[in-house]
Structure 1
């Protein structure tokens, strides 16, 4: 009787070995393993077909990071261009009495330095996008993650075209609110943007 009782815990501990193992979708596993998270929201999920897809929250977070990186890159390239261009122009010899198209040469040199800095600012997104895409590929699993972001870019553009107000209805004093959706940084912002577009359409139709 005691031997039977002593064997019972052993048989109970062996019982889970006979339970069937659950199969794991390898695509979903790889997607979640390489996904970045923000506030416990997954960047990549799988749809009903088992294919990976980028969530809207994850997409908008990536858009925010792209803006930040491009801004930092523009500041960097503008600073380098201004210092380099200004340093080179300062080595040129000219007479203070000289002028260019009626403008004093010191002012011409200052304007030229500002122009060089402006060109450097415009070149910033070229560097920034390169850095951002390398970051996306490292976070989202290489080329697959890049394709997911590009697909989401197309989806987002189609939604903007579908829901935004007709630009032909705008005027100088009453432009379409956020026509390109640059202020959209989350799903809540997109819903607010849709409400603004709808309200704008009603407002314009009321006065037509």
Structure 2
């Protein structure tokens, strides 16, 4: 029988002695050891709950690598999707402007036929649209991910450190052994990252064999 269920001692005393001893019994009464053991278990569960809450808070403040790489892949698609129309728009705008200018073969521009100058300027407009496209696409993408930007930027720094640490030396490339994705732009998943590491190792082996032959 558990001692925690024992009735108060004051109830077992005679009625005549109960009033005199109630106060002393209350001050001297101690909780049994078994009850104290049960009482001490409560704070441990509270501490475990606190530790779990702290771990969950850390997980909320950290973006999983798989999710980060998927977001990074979508960002690259955004930039590519916007680059295509901006390039076409630059080319069409260049043709619309320089195509309507009067060309006099007898009046060269910098000693060059105006047709070639205007053609180069049109291609320059298309190139300008190609360069502006990723900037516009990235800006639009950032607006759609404002809540996660702090976590994404944190992962960007860590990802860049991994790329710099594991990528190959570009000075050792050759016509038959080009550098494989030096900036890691094609990495969009953990599988792609592992494949990127294998490509870097393959490049190092080829470069080492070429040096050995020389």
TM tier, smaller: 0.5 to 0.7
Q: How far has the Cα of 1:96 moved from its partner?
A: 4.4
Q: How far has the Cα of 1:181 moved from its partner?
A: 1.4
After superposing on structure 2, the runs of 4+ consecutive aligned residues of structure 1 that deviate more than 4 Å are: none
Using the size of structure 2 for normalisation, the TM-score is: 0.64
Using the size of structure 1 for normalisation, the TM-score is: 0.66
Larger radius of gyration: 2
Deviations, residues 36-95 of structure 1 (Å, cap 9, x unaligned): xxxxxxxxxx76745421122212222222222112222222222233333222343332
Counterparts of residues 53-64 of structure 1 (less than 5 Å): 53-64=62-73
2:40 is matched with none
What runs of 5+ residues in structure 1 fail to find an aligned partner?
1-22, 29-45
Q: Secondary structure of 2:145's match?
A: helix
Describe the shift of the 1:102–1:188 C-alpha distance in structure 2 as closer, same or farther (beyond 3 A).
same
Counterparts of residues 1-40 of structure 1 (less than 5 Å): none
Task: State whether structure 2 residue 190 is matched by structure 1 residue 187.
Answer: yes
Structure (1/2) with the larger strand percentage: 1
Describe the shift of the 1:194–1:107 C-alpha distance in structure 2 as closer, same or farther (beyond 3 A).
same
2:123 is matched with 114
Preserved CA contact (<8 Å) 2:90 2:126? yes
What runs of 5+ residues in structure 2 fail to find an aligned partner?
1-48
Cα distance in 2 for partners of 1:178, 1:126 equals: 21
Structure (1/2) with the larger helix percentage: 2
Q: How many residues align?
A: 162
Describe the shift of the 1:205–1:91 C-alpha distance in structure 2 as closer, same or farther (beyond 3 A).
closer
Preserved CA contact (<8 Å) 1:94 1:105? yes
Describe the shift of the 1:67–1:50 C-alpha distance in structure 2 as closer, same or farther (beyond 3 A).
closer
